[in-house]
Amino acid sequence: MRAIVLLCLLELVRAADYSWGGPGQGAEDRDIDPNTENVCLTDQASCGCCLMQQQIHRMRTFFNMSLTELEKDLMKAKTVLNSIRASRSAFSVALINDKSLKCFGPFRDNKVIIYKHVFLNLGDGYSVDTGIFTVPRSGVYSLALTVYSDAGSPGNSLAACATLRINGQLVSGPREKNMQDQEDSATIVVALHLNAGDEVAVSLPIGCFLCDDSSHYNTFTGFLLYATD
């Protein structure tokens, strides 16, 4: 009785015109063994077994194709993720990290400010030896610069100023010069398109001086918004 029910179900499967060979394949595309019809005429038990094996083979082929496509998509996703990770670039530094307040400048010549305390240097683009951030990948970057100075006492000349430079060329710079404030600060934030290999640095102009301690009043920060190469 069970054998008869199984054979009936198999016949229904054949009549339903399902395709296990993958998308776009119908009954006309199936590779049915012509000998199956002959077997069915002489031995119905063998016929049912043969049909079941064919269906299992089609199912296995279909799912193997699907698995292959999924593996390809996974490899593409991993490649994109690795590219994103490789392009990450961000740094944030401060002038010093001393307990007592110390001042840098003034000098007779413009000098590159070397920020010694590193909060973050993702991608190792910033050099604590030169004070220069070398752009690792072309793209749009956000750059922020904050300067602070303390004149020591009211009435003294205050000169909290610095310049942001790309490959030695002036881009912008915060400036606070007066004789009314004992201490003051200024900040700039810019978004720039930079090319791989460009050098970004902060310069201290003649006559300016910055003061800092472990409170980190003077900071220089930059990070990649999005790559363009």
For residues 97 and 189, what is the distance between their CA atoms, to the nearest angstrom?
Answer: 23
- 10: pLDDT strictly greater than 50: no
**Which two structure tokens, joined as six digits, stand for 158?**
């205050």
- Identify the weakest region by mean pLDDT among 83-87, 141-145, 180-184: 83-87
The per-residue pLDDT for range 91-133, each reduced to its tens digit, is 999 999 999 999 998 999 999 999 999 999 999 999 999 999 9
Q: What is the pLDDT of residue 221?
A: 97
Answer whether 182's CB lies under 8 Å from 151's CB.
Answer: yes
Dihedrals φ, ψ of 218, to 5°? -110, 115
Q: Give the model's pLDDT for residue 40.
A: 53
Q: List the single range of 86-90, 141-145, 200-204, 218-222 with lowest mean pLDDT.
A: 86-90
Residue 157 and residue 100 in contact, taking contact as beta carbons nearer than 8 Å: no
180-188: average pLDDT: 87
pLDDT at residue 178 above 50? Answer: yes
For residues 132 and 103, give the distance between their C-alpha atoms in angstroms, rounded to a whole number. Answer: 20
Q: What percent of the chain has pLDDT above 70?
A: 76
Distance between CA atoms of 142 and 92, rounded to whole angstroms?
A: 11
Q: What is the chain's mean pLDDT, rounded? A: 81
Beta-sheet pairing, 199-204 with 163-166: antiparallel
The DSSP secondary-structure symbol of 135 reads P
pLDDT at 186: 92
Q: Which residue has the higher pLDDT, 50 or 223?
A: 223
> 177 or 209: which carries more pLDDT confidence?
209
The tokens for 191 are 């978004």
- The predicted model gives 63-82 an average pLDDT of 79
**Domain ranges in the chain?**
2-85, 87-227
Right CATH for 87-227 from 1.25.40.320, 3.40.50.300, 2.60.120.40, 3.30.1490.190: 2.60.120.40
Asked whether residue 36 carries a pLDDT value surpassing 70, the answer given is no
Give the pLDDT confidence score for residue 167 in this predicted structure. 97
24 vs 161: CA distance, rounded Å: 70
> Global pTM?
0.64
Q: Is the pLDDT of residue 38 over 90?
A: no
| Least confident piece of the model among 8-17, 32-41, 136-145, 203-212 | 8-17
